[in-house]
Chains A and B, each alone.
Chain A
Amino acid sequence: MSHPTLEDDHTDHHIVGPKVYGLILLALMAMTALTTGIAFINLGVFSPIVAIGIACIKATLVILFFMHIKYSSRLMMLTVGAGFFTFLVLITMTLSDYMSRAWGLW
């Protein structure tokens, strides 16, 4: 006899089709071309921001659709979020030390 667990976060096994994958592929390719093209335009201090921004959008599309997070339980979404949150803590809190030092090139 099977005893399912009480975890209330079950999701139906959603199968993502080729159409969605194809659309995401086109979007990713377009953004790759975009980010390479924009690199040749002098945006000053916004250049890295735009570049990382585009990269974040691309990564989000891969995570949501290729990695099926959009169709997954809240637990999975929380897990991914926790990972990126910890990564951001490492980066921001370390950088806050460097940015607030008198010496160095900030």
Chain B
Amino acid sequence: MDSHTVAVRRDEETLHHEAEHPPYLRHHFETVEQQREAVSFGMWLFLLTEIMFFGGLFMAYLLYRNWYYEAFVSASNTLGIGLGTTNTAILILSSFTMAMGVYSAEMRNRRGLMLSLSLTIVLGLAFLGIKTIEYHEKFVEHHVPGATFSIEDFVHPKDSRDAALAPDMAQHAQLFFFLYFAMTGMHALHMIIGISILFALLWKAYQGNYINGHTATIDNFGLYWHFVDIVWIFLFPLLYLISRHPLH
């Protein structure tokens, strides 16, 4: 056996070893498949905790919506349905772009991945921008719960189609706005965290990561992003669509 064939054999062994143990395989896992499934499972379990975390807020909302329905109707009607619907569409589109990002990573398409991540960032920022406009509106209209809250709009509504509330019921509109800010605020916090991670992912994608078969990070971030989208899918009808006035 001459040295040439020995050298060739060792190269084959190294290649085979690297195919079985790529550098991103952590030492406590036996195979890449095991690692991928474990990480994905871990991410889903984390999302379960998020379901239960938001669950508490949904419970509070359901209770007070039923106790103070009139106040919730009036308060909900002060939210801009155009902006709300637009935001819902933006977020759904961003879920699409994120899913396309996962596809690009799996197809080892670096530019496609970077484009998808960038679009997702832009859409996410657009969502937050609209939310800022909405929050500002509420502040200006004295609908922010607490010291600056005014029941004027509810006791003497400007729009003739709105029902006038008794003062004590009008005070309960604060509960609606508290839950509005708490739920959309918690949601926005998750969006901000998500967008920050997206920037990091975009940078790493630019450096050539995620397109070598190790798409787990993009996959699992996608799960997180879709979950944040799902929370909004429920928040939108609950907060914005409580008995809108019929169109004339």
Contact = CB atoms under 8 A, between A and B. Distances in A.
Are chains A and B touching in the complex at the 8 Å CB cutoff? yes
A interface SS class = helix
Contacts of A59: 230, 233-234
A100 interface: no
B62 to A, nearest CB: 7
A40 B77 CA distance: 11
Interface residues of B, number: 57
A40 B243 CA distance: 7
Contacts of B222: 66-67
Nearest to A22: B96
A62 B229 contact: yes
A3 B159 CA distance: 70
A94 B59 contact: yes
Contact of A95 (B20, B62, B223): B62
Contacts of A82: 48
Interface string A64-90: 011100000101100110111011001
Nearest to A3: B30
Contact of A17 (B44, B103, B242): B103
Given A51-B237, A62-B230, A87-B52, A28 B92 contact: yes
Contacts of B106: 15
17 contacts: A4-B33, A10-B37, A13-B36, A15-B107, A21-B103, A28-B92, A33-B85, A35-B236, A41-B246, A42-B243, A42-B246, A51-B241, A55-B233, A62-B229, A66-B99, A80-B48, A94-B63
Interface residues of A, number: 56
Contacts of B47: 83
B199 interface: no
A62 B88 CA distance: 13
A21 B45 CA distance: 24
Contact of B244 (A5, A39, A65, A67): A39
Contacts of A96: none
Given A21-B96, A79-B44, A10 B33 contact: yes
Given A76-B41, A83-B52, A91 B58 contact: yes
